[in-house]
Structure formats: C-alpha cells, structure tokens
C-alpha cells in the first residue's frame, strides 16, 4: 500500500486533494517503522501486514489531534478512548512507542501540511474541546494555585502525581514501593533485588554507620529511610504526598523501626533539624524547578555537618542545551511543573553553593530496565489496576512508563547520581578515602 508520505501532496486524493483520515493520522503519528493506520471513515494507510498501528475511532479524536499536534494531542485521543493502539497491551505500549518516536521527539507537521489537513477535516475540528479529566491545568492557569514552586503549588503538583492510590502503586512498583531508578547488579536481577541494591549503593556512598543521622528529602514511601533504620541509622524522611507519608508511617511501625525512622508529611523546606551526617535526595530534584536549584542545594548544604555527604539522584537531559520544561503530555498528565536539565547544570549548582563534587555516575540503562519491570507489573495486574483507578488513568501510566523507557533507551534522558561533601573552612573533607569506598 502506498502511503501519504510516499506520494506527492497534490496526489493524495485525485478528486479534490483531500487527505483521508487514516493519512492524517499517519501524518500526526509518523514513526520510524512501518505502521498501519485506520480510521472511522473506512480509510487505511500503511502496510496491511504491519503488526503495530493506530485506529482513529471518532471525530472527537480527530479534534484532539488537530488542536494539539504532537504528543499531547495523541495522548488526549488515546487516553479518552478515541484512538486505539494495536499490537500492544495498554499497560505496556512500549513496542508501539518505540516505533513511533526517536528520542521522544514528536515532530509538528509543516505549515503547508497542516493547511492541507485543515482543508481535509474541516474547520469545525479546530474548535477546542475539553481534554480528558485526568489532565492537569495548563501552566498559565496554574498560577491560581500559587506561584510556580511555591509550597502550595508544589503540594498540588505532587498530589496530582503521587496521590493516585497506594494500592495501585503497590501493584506497579512491587513490594519495595520504590518509585525511583533501581540499580541492577546483573541483567537477570529482579526488580526487588535491584531496588534493594540501589538503597545499598546510596547507603554506602554516604558512608553511613550505625548511630549516624540521615535526612532523606522527597522520601516517597520511605524506602531509603527504612533501609537506613534497618542498618542502625536514625533517619528522617519528608514527602509532600499525604498518602505516601501514611503508607510509610504504617510500614515503619510494622517493621518495628519507630525508634530510628520517621516520615513526615511536610515540605522539605520546613525541616528544622541540622547537623545531619548525610542527606539523600532521590527523585526530588525533578520537581524543584531549575531556577530554584541554588536555593535548594544551599538548603541541603545547611542541613549537613562539616564533612557530611550529599547524594543527589535525579533524571536529567542528555545534554545541557535543551530547555528545562517538560513536553505537553508529561507536563499535563504526569509531572505538572516538572523540569529537567543536564547533569552538567546539576554539578555546577552543587559546586556553586560550596559543596565539593567527589563522584558522579549515569544509571540511564538501569532506569530503562526499571521501567520495563514496572510496565510488566502493570500488565500483570491490569484488571485490578483498572478497577482501582479507572481505565483512563491506568492508560496514562502505561503510556508514561513505556514512553520513558524509550527515552532512556534512546538517550533522550538520563539518570545521574552526584555525590558531594561539605568541606570545612580550609577545604578539608573530613578524611574521605582517596578512592571510591563503595562496591559497584
């Protein structure tokens, strides 16, 4: 079958130059591999024997595509049930997304092609319609909830993403309830083994010993806090998610760790204690906002004793040139107000507040494997997940995690751990070993 992209624009339809809906869908979702596209007008495009494809089911789906060309329009149509994926499970559409995009870049059609699309579908499809209810407000409307990265607005952004359902997260994340990159000691390691190994790695990098004090900011369900407490360290964790804090507090009590471990439902900026031996920030920097990095790292430094260590673990861009703002789908459905920058910017900001960076490493491939396992868990518990949070929300998570896996595999995004020490006034580091002291 000849596709729209293989023939001259003016020959798309010999009668009046109009495109079929399947050809329009192909324009908006053109991929790196042959895909089959079908639509409710009976049209099709792409090879008939393609294992993967998309089916445009309704005029509403056409409007979503036309009014938000790119990842946001495709997501709206898919999440709302107006666009259907073929050849993949909704809990793990990785194969389709891998075929659709390169480095998570959904290119907007040219003005000429968009004009032809408009002629083909009619002006009525350019009137915006309400997005799916799972979508967050656009950035310009979020100002009603407070200035960007104010405590109020940060709390709302965290609530949007993390207060979905602890039960849902248990199915997706597994027993560790850890929603950050794992560290796989070998390719056959299980998700639980890899998450435990990640906590072990952070613990050893921070040189924690029984009797030490740890502050874990953005602690999630308390995995790092509980790991540290099990090894004799007094640990305080803070999270803006009420559901996370409640789950973590219950887990601490059940494990009998209450004498050493504490998780607070609180903004990290409200921590009053100081002189910690170590501070860990595992997956929080993405929510801080790049403009706030100086204040953020300055605050974390103020919580450390001289000679104390900071480990910052976060998703980054693959370079230091790209803008920080997330794409439409991520910003509206996953991490409102989230921002990413390159590891060079992270290191610069850590250094500029006076901390000395002693080590950094990229765990990009480990995050791709982590997401693979999360998607696998979602597929295994798909029916229960849909019953718990609804089909649309479950589809958001399948789409988000599979798309992120593509991003890590294709090096659009990375995961860096940066280790730094608070020096004394004469530049002494408290006697750190000359070489890395942890096992890989």
pLDDT digits (tens, 9 = 90+) for 297-355: 999 999 999 999 999 999 999 999 988 888 889 888 998 888 999 999 999 999 999 99
Q: Tell me, yes or no, whether 116 and 265 share the same domain.
A: no
Whether 134 maps to a domain, the answer reads no
Name 146's Cβ contacts closer than 8 Å, sequence gap at least 6. 152, 153, 156
Q: How confident is the model at residue 7 (pLDDT cuts 50, 70, 90)?
A: very low
Residues 93-128: tens digit of each pLDDT: 999 999 988 766 666 777 787 788 888 888 777 888
Residues 214, 176, single domain; the answer is: yes
List the Cα angle 309/361/366 in 5-degree steps: 115
Going through 266-335 in order, the beta strands assigned E by DSSP cover: 276-282, 304-317
Tell me the C-alpha distance between 336 and 139, whole Å: 8
Distance in angstroms (rounded) separating the CA atoms of residues 36 and 63 = 20
Strand partners, 225: none
Same domain for 179 and 221, yes or no, is yes
Q: Mean pLDDT across the stretch 211-235?
A: 98
Task: Based on the fold, state whether residues 176 and 114 are members of the same structural domain.
Answer: no
Q: Is residue 432 part of a domain?
A: no
CATH number at residue 404: 3.40.50.150
Q: How far apart are CA 238 and CA 263, in angstroms?
A: 6
DSSP symbols for 69-93: TTHHHHHHHHHTTSEEEESSBTTB-
Both 24 and 112 in one domain: the answer is yes
Whether residues 193 and 323 share a domain: the answer is: yes
pLDDT at 146: 56
146 vs 254, residue with greater confidence: 254
CA-nearest of 355, 226, 215 to 273 is 215
Tell me, yes or no, whether 138 lies in a domain: no
Q: What strands lie across the sheet with 413-422, from one edge to the other?
A: 261-265, 234-239, 213-217, 276-282, 304-317, 413-422, 355-362
Q: What is the mean pLDDT of residues 246-267?
A: 98
- Give the least confident one: 134-138, 290-294, 298-302, 371-375: 134-138
β-strand pairing of 234-239 with 213-217 = parallel
- Same domain for 19 and 77? yes
Average pLDDT of the segment spanning 276-285:
97
Q: How many residues does the chain have?
A: 440
| Count of domains for the chain | 2
The pLDDT value given to residue 199: 98
Does the structure show a pLDDT above 70 at 420?
yes
Task: Report whether pLDDT(381) > 70.
Answer: yes
Domain-located, residue 59: yes
Mean pLDDT to the nearest integer, 164-193: 96
Q: Quick one: pLDDT at residue 155? A: 47
Cα 382–chain centre separation = 20
For residue 10, give its domain range. 4-126
Within a domain: residue 67?
Answer: yes
- Does position 159 have pLDDT exceeding 60, yes or no? no
Q: Token pair of 62, please?
A: 């056409």
């Amino acid at each position: 079958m000849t596709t729209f992209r293989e023939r001259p624009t003016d020959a798309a339809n010999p009668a009046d130059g109009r495109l079929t809906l399947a050809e329009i869908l192909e324009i908006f979702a053109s991929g790196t591999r042959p895909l089959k596209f079908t639509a409710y007008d009976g049209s099709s495009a792409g090879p008939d024997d393609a294992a993967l494809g998309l089916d445009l089911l309704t005029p509403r789906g056409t409007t979503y595509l036309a009014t938000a060309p790119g990842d946001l329009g495709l997501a709206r149509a898919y999440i709302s049930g107006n666009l259907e994926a073929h050849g993949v499970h909704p809990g793990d559409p990785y194969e389709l997304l891998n075929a659709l995009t390169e480095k998570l870049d959904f290119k907007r059609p040219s003005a000429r092609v968009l004009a032809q699309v408009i002629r083909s579908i009619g002006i009525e499809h350019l009137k915006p319609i309400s997005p799916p209810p799972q979508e967050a407000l656009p950035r310009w409307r979020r100002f009603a909830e407070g200035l960007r990265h104010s405590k109020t607005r940060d709390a709302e952004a965290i609530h949007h993403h993390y207060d979905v359902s602890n039960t849902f997260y248990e199915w997706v994340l597994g027993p560790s309830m850890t929603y950050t990159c794992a560290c796989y000691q070998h390719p056959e390691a299980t998700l639980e083994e890899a998450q435990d190994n990640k906590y072990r790695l952070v613990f050893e990098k921070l040189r924690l010993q029984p009797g030490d004090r740890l502050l874990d900011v953005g602690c999630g369900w308390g995995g790092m806090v509980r790991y540290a407490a099990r090894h004799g360290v007094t640990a305080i964790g803070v999270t803006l998610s009420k559901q996370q804090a409640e789950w973590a507090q219950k887990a601490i009590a059940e494990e009998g760790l209450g004498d050493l471990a504490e998780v607070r439902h609180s903004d990290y900026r409200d921590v009053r204690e100081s002189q910690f031996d170590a501070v860990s920030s595992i997956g929080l920097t993405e929510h801080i906002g790049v403009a706030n990095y100086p204040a953020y790292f300055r605050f974390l430094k103020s919580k450390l004793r001289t000679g104390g260590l900071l480990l910052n673990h976060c998703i980054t861009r693959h370079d230091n040139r790209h803008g920080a703002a997330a794409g439409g789908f991520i910003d509206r459905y996953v991490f409102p107000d989230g921002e990413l920058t390159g590891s060079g910017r992270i290191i610069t900001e850590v250094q500029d507040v006076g901390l000395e960076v002693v080590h950094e490493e990229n765990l990009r491939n480990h995050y791709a494997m982590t997401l693979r396992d999360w998607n696998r868990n979602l597929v295994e518990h798909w029916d229960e997940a849909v019953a718990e949070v609804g089909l649309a929300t479950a589809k958001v998570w399948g789409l988000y995690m599979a798309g992120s896996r593509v991003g890590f595999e294709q090096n659009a995004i990375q995961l860096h751990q940066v280790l730094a020490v608070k020096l004394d006034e004469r530049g002494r580091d408290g006697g750190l070993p000359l070489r890395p002291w942890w096992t890989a």
